Structure 1
Amino acid sequence: MTQIKASARSIPAETGASRLLRVFSGRRGRHLREYLTGYLMILPAVALIFMFGIFPVGFALYVSLHKWRLKRGDFIGLANYTRAVDNLAYVFFFALAIGALIGVWVFLRRIRKQAEENHDRPWLLALPAALYAAAVMSFLRWIILLLPQVLDIADKIKGLERTQQLFLQFLGEAFRAESVMPAFWLSLGLFLTSIFVGFLTARLGRNPRRLSYQAQFSIMWLSGVIGLLLLWFTYGQATEAYRVALESGTDPGIWPQVITIGSGVLLLVLAWFVWRSAEGQTSNRAFLIRILGALVLLVGGWLLIGELPAVIAAGDEDMWSGLKVTIFYSLGTVPFELAISMFLAILLFQKLAGSELFRMLYFLPYVTPFVASATVFRQMFSVRPQAPVNRVLNFLGLETLQWIQEPKGIFQLLGDSAGIDIPSWAVGPSLALVVIMIYSIWVFVGYNTVIYLAGLGNISTELIEAAEIDGAGRWEIFRHIIFPLLSPTTYFLSLMAIIGTFKAFAHIYVMRHEFALNTVDTFSVTIFLEFFDKTRFGYASALAFVLFAIILALTVINNRIQGTRVFYG
């Protein structure tokens, strides 16, 4: 007995380090090491994306909900958005909320389908996923409570000697504030609880697709919570605005406009789905479906036409003017850029002497700094008689033009020269904006040409040779072979060009002139002026999100229209 006790004492007790090493040993330990290694590898990238991507966007949203000039003011909710687009803001946020709630149904349907295909029972994983979602929402709440405390540091250090120790002291006080610390501990507790519950559910039911199910359940819970919060917030903002308007003796007409515009948009979407359901069918039923889709489209369009003019008139005139200028700019550049680029690419793709030199020359404007080349263009199209373009006009016996200083529309100028009175709605883009369009086409044609050349290089020469043997001419070859096979390239370039025109700023700001009034101020320029000239940071942030929504909508529409017509071979 004594020997047994002695031998037991001789066995060293298992330390914490040895137990930890045992966790990482074996087959399960190898999988765990692989997971941890992968997460550690992507952790720096995730941190950078959060710091320089997600957080700035979230902070801009936070700013847009406040009356923010040089410093943070009062919380005003959706007032900045309603100032820009009037009651259309409520429609948009209600649509976001409903879309988020629809996302819950979409993810539930996807999870159910995946579970049926793999004969899984993943519903227990919804519990840790709900805790994960709660931890994320609690973390966001902690950030929202912490931001005012951190932003107030600038006021606290006024009149004091600015040192690193003082800043760290105030920063520590901000993190230890009474409203901040409980939120932090709550988010941390929820996060640890979600990990523990996730570990328990993993032990109860081993499923190789556990992480996939948990991610989908987490997104589903987040979508539902965000949708409900948006509904509650938007309804509260609309109700408060309605109450304030009634107290002042005016009727804002919020709810009639929200219902009418929302119904119109819903009918347009329904008409599109009805029309798409009859594609490829030639029966009488398909014909009736198309007639029904056209009727629904007419009703939806009638509802929108009846309400949108009033909403536009009540919104910010500068914003709508900037949107109109941006649309002119996009329509006046994108089609010409693509057409000229495709033509040049087909020419340069031929075995021509000096084609490499021409490729470099066409690409040179794109690699030239925009500020420098825009400044040169500004001088070329100056109002001075000695300007190069005006010299050419004088040589041809024509009158000089104001060019970048001309606020009149291009069609109005043509009508005046022909003695025709053009109505105000048909004057078109100003001559100053046309000059900027010419510059944009000159710059981006080279880039698009290079991309088209890459697309032409992927087309099999056997198809073209077979078509030539069958007697097809150059036009037939282009129409039936080259153009369809270039559709992926055209789709990509058109999408990037449309987004680029709505984001364009640098060269427009360099070439704009005060005498052109606001006829060249695109949406991006309008945001810049609101931010830097008028120092209305909250309103400028709201306009930035309006622009983001417009670009997102155009991207979706372009994807729906052109995406189905892309031929990938």
Structure 2
Amino acid sequence: MATKSSPFSTIGTTWFDSPRGQKLLENLTAYLFLAPAALHIFIFGLFPVAFAFFVSLHRWRRFPDEYRGLDQYVEALGGLAYVVFFWLALGGIGYGLLLLYRLWKSTADNRAGVAYLLPGILNAAALLGFTNWFFVLLPFVLNVPVRLRGLALIDGIFVREFFNSFTFPEPLAAATPMWALILAALVVGLLFAGVVRVPDRSRYLLLATLAPLALASGALILQLTLSEIQLAIEMAQAAGEALPLWSNIILISAGVGLLFAAYQVWQRAVRADADRNLLLLGLATTLLAGGGYLLIAELPPALASADKDVLRGFNISVMYSLGTVPFQLAISLGLAVLLFQNIRGKGLLRVIYFMPYITPFVATSVVFSLLFSHRPGSPANQLLTTLGIETQNWLLEPKGINLLLFGEGIPAWLAGPGLALIVIMIYNTWVYAGYSTVIFLAGLGNIPKELYEAAKIDGASGWQSFRFITLPLLSPTTFFLILIATIGTFQAFTQIFLLRRPGALDAVDTINISIFERVSGSNPDYAYGSAMAFVLFAVILILTLAQNRIAARRVFYG
């Protein structure tokens, strides 16, 4: 008996058998494979950052409350918050203009690619419309428990109230333009895919989407910043006070610009001939002095109203990073070079050095708290007694190391890290030195032995081989370890929290500990904690970008 096939299935099969249909099918298959990874990145990467920023703009204790603008950031950073957001907005606008320039430059051979700005603008508008609708809806969803108070708990009441969140006037008003923009973006995108057929159209569409998205984001942040600046100035004038925000923004920006210019001139001076070298070095010194003077003069007033806990937390985090990363990597490199030699039992030694890294923090922190106990019988104090030095309180000591060494006569800003923080630095170095050693060993194994043999034939000493062969060829590994170690010290929480003692007061309270103190307890302030976390995220991002820029010139990749 003959079977009949649907004409639609025949048309679909025939179309997908064509070269164009097969290409489309392959692209769809690739996007389906990438979809789980993209969803994972959005949920655990992009969304937490955007949500933290959204929370920081509101009053948010246990549930979302009124809109507060930049109040949380101003409370944390003082007047410097306006400078940061002003340049964040200009950075977004500048990045959008850069993308437009790249689009124009990449379409030099075929200007038809510029036409993709139309679907790109619609895509950006649709993304912004979705973002607006999502964050308008979010407070209504998060307030479901508040709306359920006092109601009888029946089956399905939470699900019903959850879906009722979509029917409030505000989400409905935001949904209408969102769906219109999404529909317009889809229709125009499909039309351009069929009509404007140019090479690299996917790249053109990506640039044409990201450029207006960056421009719009920068413009929105700039509007928010300018309105907050104007409001702060009006409030200060009403109170009969002067608030020189614009002078702070201009002078601090000029100071940073002069420092950047000094760095660029110094780079040119290093590569210049002898005649120009002295002139360029003098110019770099002048620019450095001018930028330093402006920052020294303007930063203290800008930070005068900042949260002292935030400033102290960042100060302790910087000391923790500077006191950990160099020693950790130096010890790790020495151990790696030692274990790379032909010595007996190096396999066992590798396992021993790696064990602190794989041992739980809870166990190792208990051991360290016993080693560095304040009691006279602790191993650390017994060692000091043997050397004729008085016993120390270690984890209970908030005083800076320089105060303990040189007495109370030195200035407070030269006190240095507290003794309790130094113990935690030692602990962190001990834990992560083994991990860095293993990574260094992998890097040493990739260096060709022929280079050492050639250097030995030429009469190079062991130190010369290490300096001119090992260190340059190990620079990619070193850069990687510096990067993750620096990020890790600014993100450190567990080891500090476990070794933190009340007697040390706030001497070990890094910025992460300060954030935790804000969002924990009986009256958590999630908005302020989110603002502090977003500031920390920005600091880590800036450090990462700066290290990448330095690595581009100093890291040898072969």
TM-score (norm 2): 0.95
- Within the candidate set 495, 514, 539, 1:507 is matched to 495
Distance 1:16 1:376, change over 3 A: same
3-state DSSP of counterpart to 1:568: coil
Distance 1:52 1:162, change over 3 A: farther
Offset of residue 136 of structure 1: 0.3
Q: Which residue of 1 aligns with 2:462?
A: 474
Q: Which residue of 1 aligns with 2:33?
A: 41
Offset of residue 139 of structure 1: 0.3
3-state DSSP of counterpart to 2:320: helix
- Within the candidate set 551, 554, 558, 1:565 is matched to 554
Q: Which residue of 2 aligns with 1:165?
A: 156
Indicate whether 1:426 and 2:421 are aligned: no
Q: Is the 8 A contact 1:410 1:431 kept in 2?
A: yes
Q: Which residue of 2 aligns with 1:376?
A: 367
3-state DSSP of counterpart to 2:58: coil
Indicate whether 1:550 and 2:527 are aligned: no
- Within the candidate set 475, 485, 500, 2:473 is matched to 485
Offset of residue 31 of structure 1: 0.7
Q: Which residue of 1 aligns with 2:142?
A: 151
CA–CA distance in 2 between the matches of 1:502 and 1:252? Answer: 33
Of the structure 1 ranges 18-27 and 245-254, higher mean CA displacement relative to structure 2 is found in: 18-27
Q: Which residue of 2 aligns with 1:463?
A: 451
Output the aligned Cα RMSD: 1.9
Alignment of 1:292-303 (within 5 A): 292-303=283-294
- Within the candidate set 496, 500, 504, 2:484 is matched to 496
* Residue-pair matches, total: 554
Q: Which residue of 2 aligns with 1:50?
A: 42
- Within the candidate set 8, 13, 16, 1:24 is matched to 16
Q: Is the 8 A contact 2:104 2:114 kept in 1?
A: no
CA–CA distance in 1 between the matches of 2:15 and 2:172? Answer: 34
CA–CA distance in 2 between the matches of 1:259 and 1:164? Answer: 60
CA–CA distance in 2 between the matches of 1:381 and 1:283? Answer: 55
Q: Is the 8 A contact 1:491 1:563 kept in 2?
A: no
Runs of at least 5 residues in structure 1 that lack an aligned partner in the other structure: 1-11
Task: Decide which structure has the larger Cα Rg and report it.
Answer: 1
Alignment of 1:150-229 (within 5 A): 150-163=141-154, 165-229=156-220
Q: Percent identity?
A: 44
Per-residue CA deviation, residues 500-557 of structure 1 (Å, 9 max, x unaligned), is 1111110101101111111101111111111113511111100001111111111122
Per-residue CA deviation, residues 59-118 of structure 1 (Å, 9 max, x unaligned), is 1111111121222222111011011111111111111111111112211221222222x4
Distance 1:475 1:247, change over 3 A: same
Offset of residue 394 of structure 1: 3.2
Offset of residue 292 of structure 1: 2.9
CA–CA distance in 2 between the matches of 1:347 and 1:547? Answer: 37
Per-residue CA deviation, residues 2-36 of structure 1 (Å, 9 max, x unaligned), is xxxxxxxxxx9974444444442311110111111
Distance 1:227 1:289, change over 3 A: same
CA–CA distance in 2 between the matches of 1:196 and 1:371? Answer: 57
Offset of residue 123 of structure 1: 1.2
Q: Which residue of 2 aligns with 1:62?
A: 54
CA–CA distance in 1 between the matches of 2:161 and 2:72? Answer: 31
Indicate whether 1:263 and 2:251 are aligned: no
Offset of residue 468 of structure 1: 1.1
CA–CA distance in 2 between the matches of 1:197 and 1:277? Answer: 49
CA–CA distance in 2 between the matches of 1:471 and 1:277? Answer: 35
Offset of residue 471 of structure 1: 1.3
Q: Which residue of 2 aligns with 1:362?
A: 353
Distance 1:111 1:499, change over 3 A: same
Tell me which amino acid in the other structure corresponds to 1:39: Y
Q: Is the 8 A contact 1:346 1:453 kept in 2?
A: yes
- Within the candidate set 524, 529, 537, 1:540 is matched to 529
CA–CA distance in 1 between the matches of 2:304 and 2:373? Answer: 35
Indicate whether 1:391 and 2:379 are aligned: no
Per-residue CA deviation, residues 373-407 of structure 1 (Å, 9 max, x unaligned), is 11221122111223222233334443211000001
Tell me which amino acid in the other structure corresponds to 2:127: V
Per-residue CA deviation, residues 255-274 of structure 1 (Å, 9 max, x unaligned), is 22122112212222233334
TM-score (norm 1): 0.93
Offset of residue 285 of structure 1: 4.6
Offset of residue 482 of structure 1: 1.0
CA–CA distance in 2 between the matches of 1:45 and 1:490? Answer: 29
Per-residue CA deviation, residues 318-351 of structure 1 (Å, 9 max, x unaligned), is 1111111111111111111111111111111000
Offset of residue 120 of structure 1: 4.9
Q: Is the 8 A contact 2:72 2:528 kept in 1?
A: yes
CA–CA distance in 2 between the matches of 1:163 and 1:530? Answer: 36
Distance 1:389 1:523, change over 3 A: same
Offset of residue 276 of structure 1: 3.3
- Within the candidate set 442, 446, 462, 2:434 is matched to 446
CA–CA distance in 2 between the matches of 1:180 and 1:69? Answer: 23
Tell me which amino acid in the other structure corresponds to 1:564: R
3-state DSSP of counterpart to 2:170: coil
3-state DSSP of counterpart to 1:315: coil
Indicate whether 1:132 and 2:93 are aligned: no
